[in-house]
Amino acid sequence: MAGRRNGAPARATVELAYKKVKQELKYMIIETKRNHWKRLLEDLDEDIWGDGFKLVMRHLKKLTPPYNPSMTRRLEIVKELFTVKESSARKPKRGV
């Protein structure tokens, strides 16, 4: 038990050092993210179809699942898009 009491000041010093390093790392991460974001925006300003665009599209592609309708739904869509009204339907020519 006596050993634990003697180590208490050392432990407090280590904890303070840990908290300080942890806070510094947190600020470094925030600053790095800020710098990368700034460079991304600058890249988009210079060339809208450049690396910034590719990066954003790659990220968005992961977020949106592909739309793959069933065969029944595809037929419904085609039927809705390409309906033929009787009044506008062409009548076949006779005698040709």
What is the pLDDT at residue 18? 96
Residues of the chain with pLDDT under 70: 1-7, 64, 85-96
What is the pLDDT at residue 61? 77
What is the pLDDT at residue 62? 75
What is the pLDDT at residue 53? 84
What is the pLDDT at residue 1? 46
Q: Per DSSP, which regions of the chain are E strands?
A: none
Distance CA 36, CA 56 (A): 13
What is the pLDDT at residue 58? 85
Q: CB burial class (10 A; 0-12, 13-18, 19+) of residue 38?
A: exposed
- Where along the chain do its domains lie? 2-81
